[in-house]
A and B are shown apart, each in its own frame.
Chain A
Amino acid sequence: MSTEGIEVHRLKSHVLSAIQSFVVRYGLGMALVILWEYAARQAGSIFFPPPSEILHRAAALWLSGPPGRLFLSDSVFQDVLPSLLRLLGGWVLAVAVGVPLGILIGRSRHLSDFVNPTLQFLRAIPGPALIPVFIILLGTESTMRVTLIAFGSVWPILLNTIEGTRTIDPLQLDTAQAFRLPRYARLWRIVLPAAMPKIFAGMRVSLSLAVILMVVSELVASTNGIGYRIQNAQIMFLLTDMWCGIVLLALLGYTLNWLFLKFEDRALGWHRGVRGRTATS
């Protein structure tokens, strides 16, 4: 009985610790949802529908399509997908502009002295304030919204890339020079990987900024998108629909951040390893 008893005991404690960690991680969220459900039912206000109703409505809104389209409804293709594309388009544009520009500025002391005050000034402009300007310049199509998202979310990437490429250990550059690595190799093999942790931190901050800017851009002069749907639902007094949009946005932001962290884990495994090492030793 002894070995079996130990096995069973081990299994039990394993299951218990799994449950425990699940409760610790998600317990608060679930408790809040339950509380919300209870409070909303008690209040019975049309402004605050209970989460179960929101969920029900959300399924009807987005998951009522034909099986051939994975049950996705037209609204997913008319609103959610365009929003996502704008968001990702703007963010990718911000990365594509911010990283190379940041490397260029970060690696040149003269250039960084020259442009830094201007960058700090431009960064201080709240993105949404430029919507009227962008509408005049670029119209009301997706181009305007993508540009706005890119403009508003480029700053963390740009500034972090500048910072990351400027603060490279001189010994790593000496090493590269001592082994006669050509210029492009020093950039590609030393500067870029060394700056990567900071660049990734900037990309993550800007991803959440991009979500905000996507919504804001869709509140103005738009005909589709999640932001537009939320506003439209509010105007038409479809309050459950409005809440659906808000929950969807939260879910979207959470998922994007989670995906990005997974990506970062893969790309920067070494960084985590180094940090773990120095933290424990």
Chain B
Amino acid sequence: MLAVKNLHHAYTQEQVVTASVSFDVQAGEIVSIVGPSGCGKTTLLKALAGLLKPTGGTIRFQGKVVQGVPDGLAMVFQEYGRSLLPWATVNGNIELPLRYQPISPDECRRRVAESLQAVDLSGFGERYPWQLSGGMQQRVAIARALAYQPKLLLMDEPFASVDAQTRADLEDLVAAVRDQFGITIVLVTHDIDESVYLSDRVIVLSRPPSTVLAQIDIDLSRPRDQIKTKAMRQFVEKRTAIAQMIKRPITG
């Protein structure tokens, strides 16, 4: 589905964020990217989305080299408040990307309703984003991405700006929509618990200039549960292992 090879990015000659990053993502996987702050997680995600042209390396999405935003990709940003358009209603926000897709108005309406239902916001379509709570707004952003029916969903710290309870709900929502819509999800997070809880695989980046330190398979059974899964021995082990990797200054 996604193949990243020797990705290198430098904003200036001295400021190398990503030295060489390589990994693959299989169809249907949920993959988290974690790493110390400043390790270029967001840069990496923007490059995957085709929003940023990396200074080296290649990204292939469904076999084709990514140059500009590819078809079949959607993105959820951390700052839902800025990413949703305040002048459009919830329906308007979700519809907007669909208007420029070759689909009928009926299909468009059906997708809006379906995606709103998936994030449990049916009946809020006529509201404006700023009339909703932060967690609800982020659900709208997720609904917008779902209605677009992407093959690959990229999420940039999607739950960093919501409260703990909402965050837990949204994490379970992500697992649920993956199962319902059969999409592949790559998300960037700074929260190690979240990465282990959500993912099939966690990719750990090093400090900048960053490389892939480890790829850790998370074979916890699904469906996962916020309380039970997080109390499991394997969960704690994986979490501890990743936390140590990120914390320890890596030399050489």
If the complex has contacts A190-B85, A270-B86, are A185 and B100 also in contact, measured as CB distance less than 8 A? yes
Size of A's binding interface in residues, CB under 8 A: 22
Report B191 CB to chain A, min CB distance, Å: 21
What is the bound-complex CA distance between A53 and B144, given in angstroms? 65
Answer yes or no: A277 CB below 8 A from chain B CBs: yes
- Of A177, A178, A193, the residue contacting B85 (CB under 8 A) is A193
The smallest C-beta distance from B102 to any residue of chain A, in angstroms, reads 12
Contact check, A178 vs B75: say whether CB atoms are below 8 A apart: yes
Given A178-B49, A178-B74, A271 and B99 touching (CB < 8 A)? no
Contacts of B79 in A (CB 8 A): 171
**Nearest neighbor of A182 in chain B, beta-carbon distance:** B100
Nearest neighbor of B49 in chain A, beta-carbon distance: A178
Please state if B51 and A174 are interface contacts (CB–CB under 8 Å): yes
Task: Tell me which of A193, A196, A273 contacts B130 (CB under 8 A).
Answer: A273
CA of A182 to CA of B75, assembled, Å: 17
State whether the Cβ of A20 lies closer than 8 Å to any Cβ in chain B.
Answer: no
List of A residues within 8 angstroms of B105 by Cβ? none
Q: Which of B90-107 contact A (CB under 8 A)?
A: 96-97, 99-100
Mark A residues whose CB is within 8 Å of B. 169, 171-172, 174-175, 177-182, 185, 189-190, 193-194, 196, 270-271, 273-274, 277
B126 proximal to A (CB < 8 A):
no
Q: Given A171-B77, A178-B74, A277-B130, are A270 and B100 also a contact pair (CB < 8 Å)?
A: no
Name B97's contact: one of A171, A180, A273, A277 (CB within 8 Å): A180
A93 vs B83: C-alpha distance in the bound complex, in angstroms? Answer: 34
- Whether, in the assembled complex, B82 has its beta carbon less than 8 Å from a beta carbon of chain A, the answer is yes
Q: In the complex, which of the residues B51, B75, B83, B144 contacts A172, with contact meaning CB atoms closer than 8 Å?
A: B83
User: In the complex, how many angstroms separate the beta carbon of B184 from the nearest chain A beta carbon?
Assistant: 16
CA A181 to CA B100, docked complex, whole Å? 7
